[in-house]
A and B are shown apart, each in its own frame.
Chain A
Amino acid sequence: MDPSEVEFLAEKEVVKIIPNFSLDKIYLIGGDLGPFNPGLPVDVPVWLALNLKQRQKCRILPPEWMDVDKLEDVREMERKEESFTPPPSPYYMELTKLLLNHASDNIPKADEIRTLVKDIWDTRIAKLRLSADSFISQQEAHAKLDNLTLMEINTTRSFLLDSLNCMFKLRSNMQPGSGTGKALDY
């Protein structure tokens, strides 16, 4: 899956905006939005929030977890624990990227948040690499991946799955009989 497709899914997340225009309720296929009144916060999906922001029609309120104190706590937890801690949001990386790239003027301490999220991401990816390594060296057949976000899974997906498939083919070719008839996709 392409990272942009993960981002596409993240854009469905709901974020609060403060519009500077007024508009009736919009009846979208995927649910109703609005009504929009100047100065009154309203929930919209991220894709619409970013579009309105680009047209300078609204101010985006950062999600609750996008806060320096909270993220510092998450970072400490993530460094302390050996397993994965619950992520601040299932799309924390994508949302940080999208919101900070397009609406950094609406988010207090944007630079600090960017660094914190990157730290959290790096710690988690390091853990992910470590667990992938032990998964392969112990030749496990099942792993539980709670608290991993889609973007994190996606960064390791093609490499991990391809290596596992490759190892499976090598192994089934070594045991004569078991591998025959299985068409191998070279």
Chain B
Amino acid sequence: MSDALSDGGSDHDDSQEDVMTPVELIAKLEEAWLNEKFSPDLLENKSEIVECVMEQLTHMEANLQRVSKGDTKASVHRMEIDRIRFVLSSYLRSRLQKIEKFFPHVLEKEKSRADGDPSYLSPEEYAFAREYLANTETYLKAVALRHMPPNLQSVNMMKAVPEPCLDSFVFLRVKERQDNIMVEPETDDQREYVVDLEEGSQHLMRYRTIAPLVSTGAVQLI
């Protein structure tokens, strides 16, 4: 019985990509979770991480099936699974919330991306966004638009739904030192200036200035 549990962590390493241990995988998931939570815009999807974590969880749960209920070890494993599952679903949920909020813009961005570029949405999220758009349009038509005069019967979703506000302020922690980050002035009589972001330091600034650093992983939103 204890063999079944001990296997859980170790024999799994082989099926992972060689570069990431489960420990790093969980750390990556937590990073992605916090970044997604605090960024005003939808970030690139991390379906690779999500899939790997799901695989780990399913594997561990399958192992736990074989263990009796009262086992101390098993209960510790279950608690850990619950914690990881919470982070995972909170991550996916905050992505869905953003898709619901900005769906026309998200779809537009997805349409206009170049062929080789990585997709912003996972296939499931893409289907969700498409369906959400179609349903909203049908709903608006059924409830209001069809009663309008013919020239007012269409609505431009791109204009009707707000865009993500990239000028929002965010809190961030620096993971890799960055020099000469331009800070735009708030008022006309101030001049723009540059700051150096030192490793480990924490800052409050506009998302727009540091958005590229979030996707490269050089800074962590907090």
Number of interface residues of B (CB under 8 A): 51
Q: How many angstroms from the CA of A142 to the CA of B207 in the assembled complex?
A: 11
Tally of A-B residue pairs with Cβ under 8 A? 114
* B203 close to chain A: CB less than 8 A: yes
B1-35 CB mask vs A (1 if < 8 Å, else 0) is 01001101110000000000011011000100000
A143 touches B79 (CB 8 A): no
Which of A23, A47, A160, A183 has most B Cβ within 10 Å? A183
B164-200 CB mask vs A (1 if < 8 Å, else 0) is 0101111100000000000111110010000100000
| Complex interface: chain A residues within 8 A of B170 (CB) | 161
A31 touches B204 (CB 8 A): no
Given A1-B37, A141-B206, A168-B167, the answer on whether A29 and B201 have CB atoms closer than 8 Å is no
A143 touches B80 (CB 8 A): no
| Complex interface: chain B residues within 8 A of A68 (CB) | none
Q: How many angstroms from the CA of A135 to the CA of B186 in the assembled complex?
A: 11
Interface size bracket, A side = 35 or more
Q: In the assembled complex, how far is the CB of residue B85 from the closest CB belonging to chain A, in whole angstroms? A: 11
Given A1-B37, A142-B203, A168-B167, the answer on whether A51 and B8 have CB atoms closer than 8 Å is no
Nearest chain-B residue to A5 (Cβ)?
B90
B162 touches A26 (CB 8 A): no
| Complex interface: chain A residues within 8 A of B81 (CB) | 29
Q: How many angstroms from the CA of A186 to the CA of B171 in the assembled complex?
A: 22
A145 touches B204 (CB 8 A): yes
Main secondary structure of the interface of A (DSSP, over half): mixed
A27 touches B5 (CB 8 A): yes
| Complex interface: chain B residues within 8 A of A135 (CB) | 204
| Complex interface: chain B residues within 8 A of A65 (CB) | none
* B84 close to chain A: CB less than 8 A: yes
* A28 close to chain B: CB less than 8 A: yes
Q: How many angstroms from the CA of A164 to the CA of B187 in the assembled complex?
A: 13
* A176 close to chain B: CB less than 8 A: no
* B222 close to chain A: CB less than 8 A: yes
| Complex interface: chain A residues within 8 A of B5 (CB) | 26-27
Which of B57, B83, B165, B169 has most A Cβ within 10 Å? B169
A141 touches B184 (CB 8 A): yes
Q: How many angstroms from the CA of A30 to the CA of B162 in the assembled complex?
A: 39
| Complex interface: chain B residues within 8 A of A30 (CB) | 22-23, 26, 80, 84
B184 touches A27 (CB 8 A): no
Which of B30, B80, B86, B162 has most A Cβ within 10 Å? B80
Task: Show 13 residue pairs from A and B whose CB-CB distance is below 8 angstroms, ordered by the A residue.
Answer: A24-B73, A25-B6, A26-B73, A29-B22, A48-B79, A142-B195, A142-B204, A153-B202, A160-B169, A182-B167, A183-B162, A184-B162, A186-B162
